[in-house]
Amino acid sequence: MINMAQYHHIKFLKEVEGLPQRQIAKKLGISRNTVSKYIKQNEASTTVNRTYTYSGKEYSDETKRVLPIIDQWHEDDLKRWGKQKHTAARIYK
């Protein structure tokens, strides 16, 4: 998935500068299929960020101690590629 800036750059190159998909793909260093996919979309896809809601539940002291650590792992995982992210099983271990 590309970020919002790349999405808008693709749209700009196609609609304003009138470049064909192959030139856009070559210029940005991405696949022509990816360019085609995002040109066909009317609006940019958005990512859903995890909400942190811990106030409604009662947690043990140990759980309260590790929640900030797990939250930090999740924030760090947003910067990593798929297979390097923490899964529920890895967090449990």
Number of neighbours of residue 19 by Cβ within 10 angstroms:
17
Nearest to 26 by CA among 7, 13, 8: 13
Reported confidence tier of residue 7, pLDDT bands at 50, 70, 90: confident
Give tens-digit pLDDT for 17-52.
999 999 999 999 999 999 999 899 877 666 555 666
Q: Look up the pTM and report it.
A: 0.47
